Amino acid sequence: MQGNKIYRLANKLIRNNYYNYFIQACILINTVIQSLDSYPEPYYAVEMDRANSFFSIVFIAEVPIKLCGFGFKYYFTDFFNCFDCFIALTSLMDILLSNI
């Protein structure tokens, strides 16, 4: 598997500091945006939904990239990767079920 171009590219990406900074910034910004949610809906609710969709896509895309880069076995030995996968899958279910 180490000779695979996709594996090498994904592994190089997930070990890149800028990639990790980008993911951490997305987590931080998404947390701030989620904390702004209130009832009744604020006037910027549409923008919040768009931002939430963007971050959901980023987090969902992170899972297969890390799966390719780390490999299936190593990916699921780390608790935080399991947690990320759970969050990404629940985000994906939210997106799919909200469009029904």
Grade residue 83 by pLDDT with cuts at 50, 70 and 90. Answer: very high
Range of the domain at 12: 5-98
For 41-56, what is each residue's pLDDT tens digit? Answer: 778 888 888 998 999 9
Task: For the chain, count helices (H), then strands (E).
Answer: 5, 0
Number of compact structural domains in the chain: 1
Check whether 1 has a pLDDT greater than 70: no
Determine if the peptide bond prior to 64 is cis (ω within 30°): no
Q: Which residue has the higher pLDDT, 95 or 65?
A: 65
Percent of the chain topping pLDDT 90: 62
For residue 82, give both structure tokens: 């399991």
Entry pTM: 0.84
CATH number for the domain spanning 53: value is 1.20.120
Task: Quote the pLDDT of residue 3.
Answer: 63
